[in-house]
Structure formats: structure tokens, C-alpha cells
Amino acid sequence: MAIKRSDFPEDFIFGTATAAYQIEGAVNEDGREPSIWDVFSHTPGKVKNMENGDIACDHYHRYIEDIEIMKEIGLDAYRFSISWSRVLSKGKIKNEKGLDFYNRLVDELLKNNITPFITLYHWDLPYYLYEKGGWLNPDIALYFQDYAALIFETLGDRVKNWITLNEPWCSSFLGYFMGTHAPGHKNINEAFIAAHNLLKAHGHAVKVFREIVKDGKIGITNVVSKIEPAQENEEDFQVAILVDEFVNGWFHDPVVFGKYPENAKGLLKQLGLKIPEDDMDIISQPIDFFGVNYYSRQLIKYDPYNPLMYKHVEGELPKTEMGWEIYPKGLYDMLKKLHQRYGLPLYITENGMAGPDKLINNIVNDHYRIDYLEKHFQQALLAIKNGVNLKGYFIWTLMDNFEWAEGYSKRFGIVYVDYKTQKRYLKKSALWLKEFLSK
Ligand code: FCB
């Protein structure tokens, strides 16, 4: 029998997720200032086809229509992020017009009985703060604290579910080491400093949250991947354990236990890297849940020539348009693992796939996405049945949008966006979800 909503606990919520820079557009309107992603995407060679978020889905002007779509599908919740450079000028001067957009967005969601989940930081640092050192600036966590406090004060009366950071692993390692995301640095020592400052920013935000929003819940969203050795040999097996600690623990352990994972830290120090470890008491402020972004697994091979001692190997499972293997069981494994290690409530804050979507006669027949979602829903349900305190599931993403370094070439939405006309079309997966939610 096909899976249906009523198989899940009664208070389980289903939603979709988005991020400000990926959908809003209106980059020069109402006092918004540039973020690191505006500058990065306008720099030749950084984003596929030199695309950018200048217009994106024009959600800034079309949010009412977008909420109507969520309503029509029957979604319970919506996870979105705030653009820091829309609400604060020069890192500290309040921009009322920017705040007003989020006030209107929240009110419209509540009017439609859709519960807002807000992410404070989804990768779009104000460029002004980047010029002051960005995530390498020792004071950046305090700037973030002030920004967070302003948002809590403005929206905390109506919004009760909060996420400090989205995938700080990507902000630090893709942004400061691999150089594939803004700000595009390639310095491994910087990446560890950025990572630590991101964690401090998280902790400071949680601390002020408790003073301002007494009846709310707050957590952090990390990307997790099932890490598996490429081959059945001791070297791959050992390095996979380290990579697992590094990918799935570096931003979890400090938040809960106040320290970095031991083995991975030991290896990194042996490699000569400096790992900052101050302020762990701030970093480990109690949180209410972990957000889990799950897409795929990683096959790991020992590689002494790589600065981190490993490389990725291509797997044999069917892949999405991103080249990511489809591996639903990994979702179950990771939920179980997070539950056992940290014991906190969990939300899947992102899961979904990019597909070869084509609009033909106003229809997108994305049967592969239905299959993907159905299989991942089943694994989530199995996790709940096996004792995991999983409370909700957000599909990435509501509508096709600006997929960072991939520009508009990858379509992840359950709603198709025709970027020329900005017309939205519910894909078959959205109609399937609507049916699923009604049962
Ligand atoms: C996640 C990001 C999200 C989106 C998906 C595909 O890592 O948080 O913004 O790009 O990947």
C-alpha cells in the first residue's frame, strides 16, 4: 500500500524549504545591500553561465502567490531564510523596509495556517561585513548576535521555530577551502577559523534567543551524508571513520558536547592544521533540535596526496542531475545515528532531488521525484517506528531556483518556474504530495 500522511504521527509536519538568495530577487530594492553571493555570482567563472540571483523567482514580489501554492498543496510549514543584507545596512543600521517584507511574509503564512520556520543564515553574508574580514573576523559572532536579536525582536512574537545556521560545513569548507562557494577562498586554515566563528555565532544567537523568545524552539541545520568506505580494506575503512566524524560531527559535537570530534581533530592537528577551540561554553548552549539536510552518501578512498587524506570515488547507484547517488537507506542510517549520539529531536530540514524536468503542454512529469520522495518518506517513517524523535520533513524545494554555483541549470522544485515569464506550474510531484497529504 502506498505511503500516506496518516501513517505518520499526528503532530508530524510536512513543509518545503527555500533560501533568500535562491528565490527572492529584488537585490537592489528597498535598501537591500549586496551580499557575498551577489559579488561572487557577478564575478566571471564562479557560477555556471554567469547566472545570478538578481531576479531569481521574484519571490520578493510574488510571495502571496507562492503561499497560495503551498496552501493548495496542503503544506503545514514553510522553512525560509532571512537576507541579512536586506534588514541591516552596513551590518548594523536597521532597514525598516527590509524588515517589513518579512513581517508581511510571516503574517501571510499565519493567515494561511502555515507554520513559519526561519533560518537566520543561509550563506548570504553582507558584503560590507566580508570587507571587514567576514567569517574570519574575530568579532563576526557578535555582529551575528546583534542581527539575530533584531530578528527575534521583530518576528519572535509570531515565529516560534528557528534555525541559526544552514550547513556551516558548506559556508566554511566550500566557501573558504574549496573556493566553489562565496567568498571563494582556497585556504584550509581559514576554513577552520571560519568554521569555529560560525559555531560561535550560532552559540551567541541561541543565548540571546532564550532572553527574547521565551516560548520558542531553536536549533542548527547541518548537512549529513552517509559515509562509506569505497573498498573493503583497512585504509579506506579507517579514513571513512575520520571523514564521518569530520562531515557528520564537526558541527554537531561542539554544539552538544562542547568539543570537536577527537579522532578527526587529532588527525588534522597531525597534518599541521591549527584548530581554534576557544569559547566552547558559548558554542554549546543547549538547543532544542537538530535540522538534518540529507541528499546522498559519499564513497571514501584513502588518498595520501590529498591535504585531508581522502578523496571521493564515484558510486554505482542511480544518480540525480547533480550527480548525487540516490540512497534512501542512508537517510534512515543517519537519523538513527544522530538520535543515538545526541538524543535530540530531529527535523529533516532539506531532502529532494534535481531532475531532468521538462515542461510539456503545461505538465512536468517528474515521476523520478515522486519515487525519490516516496522512498525517503518510507525511511523517515521507519526511523520513527524505530524510536527516532523525528518531528517534521521539509522538501527541498518549493520551486525551482538559483542553485548556487550551478545557477539555474538544476531544477529541484516540486513547482516548475518558467524564468522568462515567472509563471509557476505544479509538477506531478506537487500533485502527488497534495494527494499524499490529504490521506
Ligand atoms: C543544500 C543547500 C540548499 C540547496 C540544496 C540543493 O546544501 O542548503 O540551499 O542548494 O543543497
Per the listing, cell 567568498 goes with 183
Distance from Cα 221 to the centre of ligand 1, integer Å:
11
pLDDT at 91: 84
Task: Count Cα neighbours of 282 within 13 Å in the Cβ-side half-sphere.
Answer: 17
CA 25 to chain centre: 19
Q: From CA 67, how far away is CA 75, in angstroms rounded?
A: 10
**DSSP codes, 14-61:** EEEE--HHHH---TTSTT---BHHHHHHTSTTSSGGG--SSSTT-HHH
- Residue pair 232/147 in contact (Cβ under 8 Å)? The answer is no
Helix 96-111 and helix 140-155: axis angle, to 10°? 50
Residues marked active site are found at 167, 350
439 residues of the chain, pLDDT tens digit each: 799 999 999 999 999 999 999 999 999 999 999 999 999 999 999 999 999 999 999 999 999 999 999 999 999 999 999 999 999 999 889 999 999 999 999 999 999 999 999 999 999 999 999 999 999 999 999 999 999 999 999 999 999 999 999 999 999 999 999 999 999 999 999 999 999 999 999 999 999 999 999 999 999 999 999 999 999 999 999 999 999 999 999 999 999 999 999 999 998 999 899 999 999 999 999 999 999 999 999 999 999 998 788 999 999 999 999 999 999 999 999 999 999 999 999 999 999 999 999 999 999 999 999 999 999 999 999 999 999 999 999 999 999 999 999 999 999 999 999 999 999 999 999 999 999 999 9
pLDDT of 414 reads 99
Burial (CB count <10 Å: 0-12, 13-18, 19+), residue 428: middle
Residues 6+ apart with CB under 8 A from 165: 119, 120, 121, 171, 198, 201, 202, 220, 221
Pocket test for ligand 1, best of 123, 167, 174, 353 (most atoms within 8 A of CB): 167
Atom of ligand 1 nearest to the CA of 410: 6
The reported pLDDT for the residue numbered 36 is 98
End-to-end CA distance of the chain: 12
- Ligand 1 pocket residues where CB is under 6 Å: 19, 22, 166-167, 170, 223, 293, 350, 396, 403-404, 412
φ, ψ for residue 4, nearest 5 deg = -140, 165
Give the total residue count for the chain.
Answer: 439
Helices (H), 305-365: 328-342
- What's the confidence (pLDDT) of residue 237? 96
Complete domains list, the chain, with CATH: 5-226+317-437 (3.20.20.80)
Residues 331 and 346: their CA atoms lie apart, in Å, by 12
CA of 41 to the centre of ligand 1 (A): 16
**C-beta neighbour count of 117 within 10 angstroms:** 26
Indicate the top mutation candidate among 403, 406, 408, 410 to test ligand 1's pocket, ranked by most ligand atoms within 8 A of CB.
403
Tell me, in angstroms, the distance from the centre of ligand 1 to residue 37's CA.
14
Instruction: Say how far apart CA 141 and CA 133 lie, in whole Å.
Output: 12
Q: Compute the distance from residue 60 Cα to the ligand 1 centre, in Å.
A: 20
Nearest atom (ligand 1) to Cα of 223 = 7
Query: What's the rounded Cα separation, in Å, for the pair 348 and 378?
Result: 13
